[in-house]
Structure 1
Amino acid sequence: MKSWAIAWALVLATAQFCSAAGFGIYEWSARGNALGGATVGRADDPSALASNPAGITQLDGLQVLAGFTAIHPVLDIRTNSPAGNEWASSDKDSLWVPPHFYATWKVNDRYTVGLGTFSRFGLGSVFDEDWDGRYNNYEAIIESMSINPNVAVKVTDKLSAAFGVDATYLNFSKKQKINWTGALNPNPAIDGDASLEADGWGYGFNMALHYMPCDYAKIGLSYRSPVTMDVNGKADFSMPSVYEGTLLDNIGAFKDTNAHGTVTLPDSFSFGVAVYPTNKLSIEVGAIYTLWSKYDKLEIKYSDPVIFDRDTMSLKSVSSYDKNWDDVWRFNIGVEYAVLDWLDLRAGYVFDQSPVQDETIDYMVPANDRHLLNGGLGFHWDNWVVDVNYTYLMIMDRDIDARPDDGVYEGEIDNADAHMVGLSVGYKF
């Protein structure tokens, strides 16, 4: 029976997520979204628990902030498969809604504690079951939620430091067709079906620094460790009637079985410099460096040898997919201007590099470099804060080289974009 903590995380993770650069997620608050994530230097609201926890020493009393980001992605892929030159679109009705919740409490002039729950990793790609790339996958979803308590201390009047622990829950599901005949026949009636569901917990830590060298500047540095996820679940196979009574059926191929996998989620460094030319205007530039090279392969181990290997004409108990992703940068800039005592205007821009190599790109993460254009409003009165944002995300077009053994055909990614709307509501007690 799952613990109350798992249940809590599942309640928070009520929807699936859009794929980001790799499958990282940075939509941690509506204000942060509007500023393009340029909040590592500012770090002056409860969502700093996600971007730079050392900054929470700036917050007085008990403060809470909660909200969500609604993400609507659309992706077209053209494949030059034996079935012909065809276009396929990801689910145009999809809507992913990663939530967030933060609470901070200033214990005294030196110590502040905080608890953040937010998603750092996730993806969702859903295609028609009979599309050309179905032998690679037609549905892939990663859901995650991190529970991240932190302690921040004011080392001096200008320097603060923080340390936290990270418990991450991850749920992984993947669906793909099995080409029963061995020939690339487009008729889905002869396809089998494979479904994998697995979940588990992983643990890590984070450290951060926040420095204010003068009244008009702030500098932030944050590090999050890698998290090794051990996930356990079940692999289910549904085969066509022509499979029954065959040799593969008799030797136990494609039988339902338990499955286990280990994935290392990457560590990252975040940096930001915020300047305040006037009392009403702030500008921050920053960067995130993510070590995606730790994601070198995706390996699924089955309790029983059930996967038919056409090369050796035998059954195997391990499916391994090379990833070999690159370490990449994410650059951002955010501007905030206090138009009125109760209204802030915000804008931001992000350039996000893709870690996926040409040699290992597949339909589970069909990504490329991305541009994000962000804008938003902040309303504050009495002890209340309400932030809203809109983001347009554009993924650059990309060619895909053929890897028929992996169910990947020559083609291209086109018209890939997403619309995001965020809302956060905060209160200071």
Structure 2
Amino acid sequence: MNQNHNMFPYKILPLAVTLVLGGFSGAAAAAGFALIEQSVSGMGNAFAGGAAAVDDASVQFFNPAAITELKGTQFSVAAHSVRPSAKLTDASARETTLGNIPYTTPGAAEDGGVNAVVPNLYFVSDINPQTKFGLGISVPFGLSTDYSNDWIGRYHGIKSSVETININPVLAFKLNDQLSLGGGISAQYISAELTSAIDSGAICYAQVLRLGGNPAVSCAPAGLTPGNNATDSYAKIKGEDWGYGFNLGLLYKPMDGTRIGVAYRSSVKQSIEGDATFTRSAAFNAFLTGAGSTLFTNTSDSADLDLPATLSVSAAHALSTQLELMGDITWTQWNKFKELRVKYGNAAQPDSVTTENWRNTLRYSAGLSYKLDDRMKLRGGVAYDQTPVPDDEHRTVRLPDNNRTWFSLGMTYAASNQLSFDVGYAHLFLKDSHINNTTEASVAQNLQGTYKNNIDLLSAQLNYMF
């Protein structure tokens, strides 16, 4: 029986790796398109005290130094269900290049939120009594929104998908009973897909007017009028890359029952390359072919993206043998995200540019843990998360983000000395997100409205020590 019992982790580890490396969709739950859902025990406290926690192997994502407080060899595997809602209300759209033409049949406004599952896997083991090795496989960034092809904001975006996988080995050293240091390197894979509609009619009008012609004669008879969904064309941009970074941390215990953690995770530069696919409507294809134009033909694409650095300062203090208070402040360097610029291999195709001008953000959280008995620990927490989006003009349909407030609950249950489970739930209240965004192209469209957003998170985690 003991032999079979000890084989348990070796049987489940391959399944856990498959979960993390398999298909998933990312739905941003932290501000911007970061995913803070890296630990279920942490989520129960709204990630308060993240860099000072010592609950299980998942702490290494928030502070590699903290794994020196863990005993023996252990792993944690988790899945987080993210259920966002992003409903656009009071929407209006117009073409702005040809004299602010309103779309008389703009299509419906709708909810672009996409349900997703975010997985994590962490492993920790002893090298010697003072040194620990850890390995984390996680999803630190993700984004998924999806609208119908005929929705009112289709020229701003239809589908947006950003998925990452971060492989992060770490080492931690216990210098003495009070101070531990840790660090690691990250290999991070990113895959992105963006789609949008092309206003074939507005482009036809603009081209004909530029040449001194009459759009009513050259465009309208074929249905090529601004905002006509029946003659819309479509663009799909895809790409992927591997990038590299590092993380550092320290854990300091000034007195019994008190821990202070400081952790830094570096920026990761991604140089994404892939393919751009254009689907031209029959009428638009005939127009471009007749004009001898090579616009909107399939080609290669590339884009640079700097994923932000973070700095966290956390503290945890035991008020009694049962009750622990914790807090955290995390800074995120979003100001590197100045613009999203897609370059094309087709020299005739101009860059696609979206100015972002994001700003750095702070996240504040506080939480409590109460040890009910030797088997069960109850958790609760609140957090306030700032948005990096600077104003209504820079808010986009791909990420209609705003400031958010977290309310979290969680529980840890120890089934045995080796096996424990965590569950957590959080509801995120987002401020109404007003949008007044104009696309940056030779033929531009403006979209206005108000997003009603909220997010529900439900998570489960298994921890095993052997």
Taking structure 2 as the reference length, what is the TM-score of the superposition?
0.85
- Say yes or no: does 1:55 pair with 2:66: yes
CA distance in 1, matches of 2:56, 2:241: 31
- Specify whether residues 282 and 87 from structure 1 end up closer, same or farther in structure 2 by C-alpha distance, changes over 3 A only: farther
User: Is the 8 Å Cα contact of residues 44 and 56 (structure 1) preserved in structure 2?
Assistant: no
- Specify whether residues 402 and 111 from structure 1 end up closer, same or farther in structure 2 by C-alpha distance, changes over 3 A only: closer
Q: Give the residue type in structure 2 aligned to 1:90.
A: D
User: Is the 8 Å Cα contact of residues 107 and 150 (structure 2) preserved in structure 1?
Assistant: no
- Specify whether residues 117 and 407 from structure 1 end up closer, same or farther in structure 2 by C-alpha distance, changes over 3 A only: farther
- Secondary structure of the residue aligned to 1:382 is coil
Shifted more, 281-290 versus 249-258: the winner is 249-258
Residue in structure 1 matched with residue 7 of structure 2 by the alignment: none
1:160 aligned residue (174, 180, 183)? 180
Shifted more, 356-365 versus 140-149: the winner is 356-365
1:260 CA displacement: 1.2
- Secondary structure of the residue aligned to 2:335 is helix
User: Is the 8 Å Cα contact of residues 20 and 119 (structure 2) preserved in structure 1?
Assistant: no
- Say yes or no: does 1:126 pair with 2:126: no
Residue in structure 2 matched with residue 117 of structure 1 by the alignment: 137
Residue in structure 2 matched with residue 311 of structure 1 by the alignment: none
CA distance in 2, matches of 1:412, 1:95: 21
CA distance in 1, matches of 2:149, 2:65: 47
2:263 aligned residue (222, 239, 257)? 222
Q: Give the residue type in structure 2 aligned to 1:214.
A: M
- Say yes or no: does 1:422 pair with 2:463: no
Q: Give the residue type in structure 1 aligned to 2:168.
A: N
Q: Give the residue type in structure 1 aligned to 2:320.
A: T
1:284-299 aligned at under 5 Å gives the runs 284-299=326-341
1:52 CA displacement: 0.8
Provide the aligned C-alpha RMSD in A: 1.8
1:152-231 aligned at under 5 Å gives the runs 152-182=172-202, 185-231=226-272
1:86 CA displacement: 7.7
Residue in structure 1 matched with residue 161 of structure 2 by the alignment: 141
User: Is the 8 Å Cα contact of residues 133 and 407 (structure 1) preserved in structure 2?
Assistant: no
Residue in structure 2 matched with residue 366 of structure 1 by the alignment: 400
User: Is the 8 Å Cα contact of residues 226 and 267 (structure 1) preserved in structure 2?
Assistant: yes
User: Is the 8 Å Cα contact of residues 199 and 228 (structure 2) preserved in structure 1?
Assistant: no
- Specify whether residues 306 and 393 from structure 1 end up closer, same or farther in structure 2 by C-alpha distance, changes over 3 A only: farther
Q: Give the residue type in structure 1 aligned to 2:38.
A: W
- Say yes or no: does 1:413 pair with 2:434: no
Residue in structure 2 matched with residue 377 of structure 1 by the alignment: 411
CA distance in 2, matches of 1:246, 1:386: 62
1:91 CA displacement: 4.4
1:143-194: per-residue Cα shift (whole Å, max 9, x none)?
A: 1111000000012211000110011111111010000011774431110000
CA distance in 2, matches of 1:251, 1:403: 25
- Secondary structure of the residue aligned to 2:38 is coil
- Say yes or no: does 1:16 pair with 2:25: yes
Residue in structure 2 matched with residue 5 of structure 1 by the alignment: none
Taking structure 1 as the reference length, what is the TM-score of the superposition?
0.92
- Say yes or no: does 1:390 pair with 2:428: no
- Secondary structure of the residue aligned to 1:340 is coil
CA distance in 1, matches of 2:241, 2:439: 31
1:350-379: per-residue Cα shift (whole Å, max 9, x none)?
A: 110000121321111111001111101110
Q: Which has the higher helix share?
A: 2
1:246 CA displacement: 2.4
User: Is the 8 Å Cα contact of residues 342 and 379 (structure 1) preserved in structure 2?
Assistant: yes
Q: Give the residue type in structure 1 aligned to 2:447.
A: Y
Runs of 5+ consecutive residues of structure 2 not aligned to the other structure:
1-16, 94-101, 206-224
User: Is the 8 Å Cα contact of residues 196 and 233 (structure 1) preserved in structure 2?
Assistant: yes
- Secondary structure of the residue aligned to 1:364 is coil
Residue in structure 1 matched with residue 41 of structure 2 by the alignment: 31
* Structure with bigger gyration radius: 2
Q: Give the residue type in structure 2 aligned to 1:165.
A: I
User: Is the 8 Å Cα contact of residues 20 and 120 (structure 2) preserved in structure 1?
Assistant: no
User: Is the 8 Å Cα contact of residues 197 and 234 (structure 1) preserved in structure 2?
Assistant: yes
Residue in structure 2 matched with residue 40 of structure 1 by the alignment: 51
Q: Give the residue type in structure 1 aligned to 2:264.
A: Y
1:322-353: per-residue Cα shift (whole Å, max 9, x none)?
A: 11100000111121111121011111111100
CA distance in 2, matches of 1:63, 1:255: 52
User: Is the 8 Å Cα contact of residues 77 and 87 (structure 1) preserved in structure 2?
Assistant: no
CA distance in 1, matches of 2:152, 2:260: 49
- Specify whether residues 45 and 408 from structure 1 end up closer, same or farther in structure 2 by C-alpha distance, changes over 3 A only: farther
Residue in structure 1 matched with residue 4 of structure 2 by the alignment: none
- Specify whether residues 404 and 428 from structure 1 end up closer, same or farther in structure 2 by C-alpha distance, changes over 3 A only: closer
- Specify whether residues 28 and 232 from structure 1 end up closer, same or farther in structure 2 by C-alpha distance, changes over 3 A only: same
- Specify whether residues 112 and 398 from structure 1 end up closer, same or farther in structure 2 by C-alpha distance, changes over 3 A only: same
CA distance in 1, matches of 2:288, 2:463: 62
User: Is the 8 Å Cα contact of residues 134 and 407 (structure 1) preserved in structure 2?
Assistant: no
Runs of 5+ consecutive residues of structure 1 not aligned to the other structure:
1-7, 308-315
User: Is the 8 Å Cα contact of residues 218 and 273 (structure 1) preserved in structure 2?
Assistant: yes
1:241 aligned residue (275, 282, 289)? 282
Residue in structure 2 matched with residue 272 of structure 1 by the alignment: 314
1:206-236: per-residue Cα shift (whole Å, max 9, x none)?
A: 1101001111210000001110001111100
- Secondary structure of the residue aligned to 1:128 is coil
1:82-101 aligned at under 5 Å gives the runs 82-83=102-103, 88-91=109-112, 94-101=114-121
1:58-104: per-residue Cα shift (whole Å, max 9, x none)?
A: 11211000011001111111322233698623246x32001000000
CA distance in 2, matches of 1:165, 1:123: 24
- Say yes or no: does 1:334 pair with 2:344: no
CA distance in 2, matches of 1:61, 1:386: 18
1:100-138: per-residue Cα shift (whole Å, max 9, x none)?
A: 000001212210010001111111111111111110101
- State the aligned residue count: 411
1:65 aligned residue (58, 76, 92)? 76
CA distance in 1, matches of 2:410, 2:33: 24
- Secondary structure of the residue aligned to 2:292 is helix
- Secondary structure of the residue aligned to 2:109 is strand
1:288 CA displacement: 0.6
